[in-house]
Amino acid sequence: MLFAPHFMVRVFGFSQTASIFFPSQGGIFLLILGVCYLLALREPALVKVILISKAFAVVFLFAHAAFLSAPPSIWAAAAGDTAMLVALSAALFKRRCL
């Protein structure tokens, strides 16, 4: 989304918009989030931030897919984020139980 916003918008089924600012902003947000994921490998306290962001992402994506006419690809994104949330929660729970 950051480097080829028009292409990515078209590929994932969104309608073209006059302004590409918000899709590009989403791209930089995902880049920042990815850096936070990498930092969490060294700083366990950041795992909580990732859990919270995933939980909000799941709610946001399912709400848009179910009620706000989002493209079908959003269902896949919601499922992927749900899987990541469950896996990360299970790993954190297992780590705390050891």
76 and 29 within one domain = no
Residues 71 and 88 in one domain: yes
Say if residue 39 is in the same domain as residue 5: yes
* Local confidence band at 66 (pLDDT 50, 70, 90 cut-offs): very high
Domain identity same for 26 and 49: no
> Looking at the structure, do residues 5 and 18 belong to the same domain, yes or no?
yes
For residue 82, the model assigns a pLDDT of 94
**What range defines the domain where residue 54 resides?**
44-98
- Is 37 in the same domain as 48? no
Contacts of 47-51 spanning 24+ positions with Cβ under 8 A: 47/88, 47/92, 50/88, 51/85, 51/88, 51/89, 51/92
Asked if 33 and 56 sit in the same domain, the reply is no
* Shared domain check, 61 and 79: yes
Lowest mean pLDDT among 17-26, 32-41, 71-80: 17-26
Domains of the chain: total: 2
Per the prediction, the chain carries an average pLDDT of 83
Which carries the bigger pLDDT value, residue 93 or residue 82? 82
Say which residue, 94 or 1, is predicted with more confidence. Answer: 94
C-alpha dist (Å) from residue 84 to 6, 19, 55: 27, 31, 10
Residues 62 and 36 in one domain: no
The count of residues in the chain is 98
Whether 98 shows a pLDDT value over 70: the answer reads no
Q: Which helix (H) or strand (E) holds 89?
A: helix 73-97
pLDDT digits (tens, 9 = 90+) for 5-18: 778 778 877 777 66
**This prediction's pTM:** 0.67
- Per-residue pLDDT of 25-39, as tens digits, reads 777 888 888 888 888
One domain, residues 49 and 37: no
